[in-house]
Structure 1
Amino acid sequence: MELRSVEELMDLLYAGRKAAAREGAGRRADPCDHALRTAALLRRRRPADKELQVAGLVLGAGGLLGPGDGAGARAAVRAARAADAVRGLLGERVFRLVRQQASAGDGRAVRALDEDALTLRLAEEEARARGVGDTAGAGVLEDWRTVLELVAARNAPLGAVD
């Protein structure tokens, strides 16, 4: 599935939040909360790098794109799925950053990550380690709409109209 608009991406992320709420507290971490924590960590570390922040926000979206396999799919499959889905909307750099997470399953692959992809990986791991309930400073999903629109606009083909 290819996401064609920021609205589609936001709808997908909100759907993930609703699905996690339906499963109940303690069943599994809300992928939206994890994405918000990751993006917020990246915003603090690299405030000017909107594409890196957005990569952190969408990294977990791949688990929401496959029917019935969101929680069970391997992280690499989910990352690859997310990268493919946002490539046309958010551009090659976001695609590359998210896609590299799909191939970084072992120590050798992690060492091969470029600096930005490693920063993303470390923020994602730190956000996971903080766990459910630690959303201090992460904000809400709607706070990220403008940043997503900015990155999407930067990557839109010349002359493209919504």
Structure 2
Amino acid sequence: MPLVFTRQSFEENVNRIEEILGTRCFRKEGRQISKNMNVPPNFAVRFDSLRMSHELRLETGNFDDGPFWMVRYTVYARNQAIIRGGWGLFRDENPINEEDIVLFEYIDNQNPRKMKVHILQPDGDSATLLLERLEAEENVEQLVPADLEDAVDGLLALNDQ
């Protein structure tokens, strides 16, 4: 039976993705995408590394070795910034429709600094697939510390014998 996508389930998936990504992402609707990409002021002040202008690597997809575009992240006021200088090429090579939702996920502590750009289309399965991947990663992150703690406790118990 084929998957059926509704606008409501799409919005629910996007909202859950935003919940998982938390403060490291911001959302734009396709119709808000322009020649120079304005970064929401409340996002631009969340990270010390976003308080100054620098080169930024934009990535799509799930792989670090996939395509990327170098853009210029420019701070032009205390808490206002834009993405430009390469943004036009990114837009040309990654068509964004008016009804799409675009999530910008900032990956801090990378050199060069980078953002993963998730282009989610309401008439496809992009939001569902991203949500499944993020939930799987979230489950792994929740399991590893407990398993690791149990392993350390087991080793310490063996050492005490």
TM-score higher than 0.5: no
TM-score category, normalised to shorter length:
under 0.3
Higher helix fraction (1 or 2) = 1
**Bigger CA radius of gyration:** 2
- TM normalised by structure 1 equals 0.25
Higher strand fraction (1 or 2) = 2
